[in-house]
Amino acid sequence: MTRLSLADQAYAHLKDWVVHHRLKPGARLRVGDLARALQMSPTPVREALSMLEKEQLIAREPRRGFRVSALDLEGVADLYDLRIALEALAARQAAKRLSPSDRRRLTQLLAEVERCIAGGDKPRILDLEQDFHILIFEASRNRPLAEMGRTILGRIWMIQNVNLLTTDHLHRAHPQHVDIFRAIEDGEARRAEILMRRHLAFARQFVLSRLRRKGDLLSHILLGFEDGLVAVAGGEKPLPRRTSRRVLCAESL
């Protein structure tokens, strides 16, 4: 088994914290704080931050270091438009190139989702439904497309992790995933592409409608936390002002 370098380990942890909002949009990232939280030296943390910058999950500010990226409404719309184009192509190519191992992995994943739905395990369902989209990229057997797709999905999950956990749309996604997989399994490339476009266009419309509502949780997350607010699954709660827009310390992480 390949051992990850410290930079790769730091990257994996920091990306997870950004995607799951433990590091909030707009939060300033202090290398020293992050190094203490990760219990490693600053050097691999700096390397990890540079990797995240390339994925546009964080942004570098001249003479001020890094901040977690925050998108505006137009940026989210553009991101979803690109996602739709990439995943529609992935679904079409997967229908033509699906291997027995791809079929087995997707079948097992969808079966596990069914079990989790019956058990009410919403966080696990979310992880699996996101894995579904990654597996479709992999099943396309188009390496450049899969690499682009993973980068885009990393940014999408920043939005979807809260969107889906605060609505009932997570359960609605599963039947659509099943239909997409059946089209891919049957080699119906055009149908797979159409179903994927329809599935993601619905998600795009729903997310944008939430972001247009000023009081919606997604709007607060997208714009950052100017007033010391921290997002939780069921709403918001105030934090002491000194912690607003700052990376959490090691004890909090």
Q: Which domains does the chain have, with CATH numbers?
A: 6-70+224-243 (1.10.10.10), 73-211 (1.20.120.530)
CA atoms of 198 and 37, how far apart (whole Å): 42
CA atoms of 191 and 95, how far apart (whole Å): 9
- What does pTM read for this prediction? 0.74
- Reading phi first (left if > 0) and then psi (alpha if -120 to 50, else beta), residue 235 is in left
Residue 65 is given by DSSP the state E
For residue 194, the surrounding DSSP H or E stretch is helix 189-211
| Number of Cβ within a 10 Å radius of residue 130 | 18
Answer whether 71's CB lies under 8 Å from 65's CB.
no
Q: Of all residues in the chain, what percent are helix, strand and coil, respectively (each to 5)?
A: 70, 10, 25
For residue 14, the surrounding DSSP H or E stretch is helix 6-19
| Number of Cβ within a 10 Å radius of residue 76 | 20
Answer whether 217's CB lies under 8 Å from 24's CB.
no
| Number of Cβ within a 10 Å radius of residue 125 | 23
CA atoms of 145 and 166, how far apart (whole Å): 30
Tokens of 225: 């936390």
Q: So what's the pLDDT on residue 242? A: 28
Query: Of 31, 52, 33, whose CA–CA distance to 42 is shortest?
Result: 31
Q: So what's the pLDDT on residue 65? A: 86
Q: So what's the pLDDT on residue 186? A: 98
Residue 241 is given by DSSP the state G
Helix axes 6-19 and 143-165, enclosed angle (nearest 10): 40
- Each residue's pLDDT expressed in tens, for the chain with a length of 253 residues: 457 899 999 999 998 888 877 888 888 999 999 999 999 999 999 999 999 998 888 899 887 889 988 777 888 899 999 999 999 999 999 999 999 999 999 999 999 999 999 998 888 988 898 899 999 999 999 999 999 999 899 888 888 877 766 666 777 889 999 999 999 999 999 999 999 999 999 999 988 888 888 777 767 666 544 333 333 333 333 323 223 333 333 333 4
Which residue reads 């329809």 in tokens? 198
